[in-house]
Amino acid sequence: MLRITFAVPLLALSLLAMTALSPLNSSIGADVPAKVLRHVVMYKFKETTTPEQVQQVVAAFAGLPKKIDAIIGYEAGTNVSPEGKSEGFTHVFVVTFKDEAARDAYLKHPAHDAYVQVVKDKREKVIVFDYWAEE
């Protein structure tokens, strides 16, 4: 019986501590939105696009977060899936925004326009997919 009566208050204290420290109740990161807008861009490059040109595209895209304040997150990578279902798409870029207004500002930004000029003749196909993600 002693274990049960001691365990219940201990469990209650543990739950209280976890609740008090949870991000929902913390002022740390209070300015981070509950949801963010992810903007996913995937490229299938033309067969005539050289590895140097692909690297130029990757570097130009990677430079956008330093030029466009609306970007709050950025990731990029190349396909490493063993499934063989990428249909020739080799590169993905994921840009994160706090909302649609930030995404729209990015799309109209001169740095984005300049980037499009770098990539437009090097890609065979592009997929753009936006979605809301829990943060």
Q: Please give the Cα distance from 84 to 79 (Å, whole number).
A: 10
Q: Which of 18-22, 57-61, 116-120 has the lowest mean pLDDT?
A: 18-22
Whether 26 has a pLDDT exceeding 50, the answer reads no
Q: In the chain, pLDDT over 90 holds for what percent of residues?
A: 74
**Residue 122 class from Cβ within 10 Å (0-12 exposed, 13-18 middle, 19+ buried)?**
middle
Q: Please give the Cα distance from 82 to 71 (Å, whole number).
A: 31
Give the CATH number of the domain where residue 90 resides.
Answer: 3.30.70.100
Q: Tens of pLDDT along 99-131?
A: 999 999 999 999 999 999 999 999 999 999 999
> Measured over all CA atoms, what is the biggest interatomic distance in the chain, rounded to whole angstroms?
77
Domain count, the chain: 1
Beta-carbon neighbour count of residue 57 at 10 Å?
20
- Structural domain including 124 reads 35-134
Classify residue 17: in a domain, yes or no.
no
Tell which residue, 107, 117, 15, has the closest CA to residue 7.
15
